[in-house]
Structure 1
């Protein structure tokens, strides 16, 4: 949304979703356009979709989630410990 505001653009957003296939289906149905990560666009059927790469400084803020108090494999525990050390310290 920051990038739209910087260019004084006010998009009419009908739906937001992290389900890339759902968004592609909406576009294929003619319901609108979507802004998707380039790796997702590259997987789309070029006979049904056209896309252009956008040049911008867009960044994703990511988070990591897990269920506390339930069994976690040693691999998952190691990954969590490593991730906490890398991002939180």
Structure 2
């Protein structure tokens, strides 16, 4: 999602019901301060990958191939990654 966005509990549940498997946002979290933990739990428990802090400012609409390789950090449930996009021909 480009720009500032806030995912609510209702939206998180809708993403699950729609079969979304990855959510990428430009913000540093997907939810509000009050609901952040619940929203992360909804998404992650339904195997929806979350990528936060993306810079999508130069990305135009279209179909892309995404490579997002996280660092392996022992005992952590998150990691920085290098997110790369390739536009399909």
Q: Normalized against structure 2, the TM-score is what?
A: 0.29
TM-score, normalising length: structure 1:
0.29
Largest Rg, 1 or 2: 1
Structure holding more strand per residue: 2
**Greater share of residues in helix:** 1
